[in-house]
Amino acid sequence: MAESEHSYHPGRREYIQIGVILTVLTAIEVGLFYADPPPAVAIPVLLALTALKFILVVFWFMHLRFDTPLFRRLFFTGGILATIIYGIVAATFYFGGA
């Protein structure tokens, strides 16, 4: 186990706590959906909740918080690059002059 010297992994207790938080967040998402608020309110809130869940899984379950920063950089390079370039593509479709 190469990692044991220099990386801390959370234990069962923390994993279960995260699992509970994820459950609650999902419940809020679904609840929000059925409350049927105007999309201008609902969409930012839904995206925020999604981002929160994303971060919990990535940083705790995938140990990015505890592992070497290189892994974080690799993952976020991919994620951010994808967001930027596909964002620009989508923007040219919505605001393009064609």
Partner 1 sequence: MTVDVHSPESTADHGHHTSLGISNTKLAMWCFIGSECLFFGALISAYLIYINERADGPGAELFDIEFTSASTFILLMSSLSMVLALAGIQAGDMRRFRIWIVATGLMGSVFLAGQIYEFTVFLSEGANVTVSPFWSAFFLLTGFHGVHVAFGILMLIAAWASSLTGRLRMENAETIENLGLYWHFVDVVWILLFTLVYLIPALGGGGS
Partner 2 sequence: MTTLAERPSASRSRSPFRRPLAETGLGSWFTTVDHKRIGILYFVSAMVFFVIGGVEALLIRLQLATPDGQVLTIDQYNQIFTMHGLTMVFFAVMPLGSAFFNYLLPLMIGARDVAFPRLNAFSYWVFLAAGLFIYSSVLLGGMPDGGWFGYAPLSLVGGDPLGYTIGDATTTQTIAGNTVAEGQRMVFYSLGLQIAGIASLASAVNFIVTILNMRAPGMTLMRMPVFVWMILIVSFLMLFAMPVIGVALWELMMDTSFGANFFDPAQGGDPVLWQHMFWLFGHPEVYILILPAFGIVSEILPVFSRKPLFGYTAIVFSGIAIGFIGWGVWAHHMFAVGLGPVANSAFGLSTMFIAVPTGIKIFNWIGTMWDGRLRLTTPMLFSIGLVAMFTIGGLSGVTHAVVPHNWQQTDTYYVVAHFHYVLFGGAIFGLMAGAYYWYPKATGRLMNERLGKAHFWIQLVGFNLTFAPHHILGLNGMPRRVATYEDGYGWNFWNLVSTVGAFVIALGVLVFIINLVISYKRGAEAGPDPWDARTVEWLTTSPPPPHNWDQVPNIRARDELWQRKYPTQGQREQVRVPAGGSGELEGDVAPGTTAPTEGTTGATQSPYTISDPGYDKGVRHDVHMPSPSYYPLIAAFGLPIAAYGVIFDQPAGFVFYAVGALLVLGGLFGWVLEPPTDPSAEVAHQ
Residues in contact with partner 1 by CB under 8 A are 1-3, 6, 9, 11-12, 15-16, 18-19, 22-23, 26, 29-30, 33-34, 36, 39, 42-43, 46-47, 49-50, 53-54, 57-58, 61-63, 68, 70-71, 74-75, 77-79, 81-83, 85-86, 89-90, 93
Q: Judged by CB under 8 A, does residue 1 bind partner 2?
A: no
Q: State how far the Cα of 48 lies from the Cα of 66, in Å rounded to an integer.
A: 23
Residues contacting residue 66 through CB under 8 Å, at least 6 positions apart: 7, 8, 9, 10
What is the closest distance, in whole angstroms, from the C-beta atom of residue 15 to partner 1 in the complex?
5
Q: Are 56 and 65 in contact (CB under 8 A)?
A: no
Tally Cβ neighbours within 10 Å of residue 32: 15
What is the closest distance, in whole angstroms, from the C-beta atom of residue 76 to partner 2 in the complex?
12
Tokens of 83: 């967001």
Of residues 64-93, which lie at the interface with partner 2 (CB under 8 A)? 70, 77-78, 81, 85, 89, 92-93
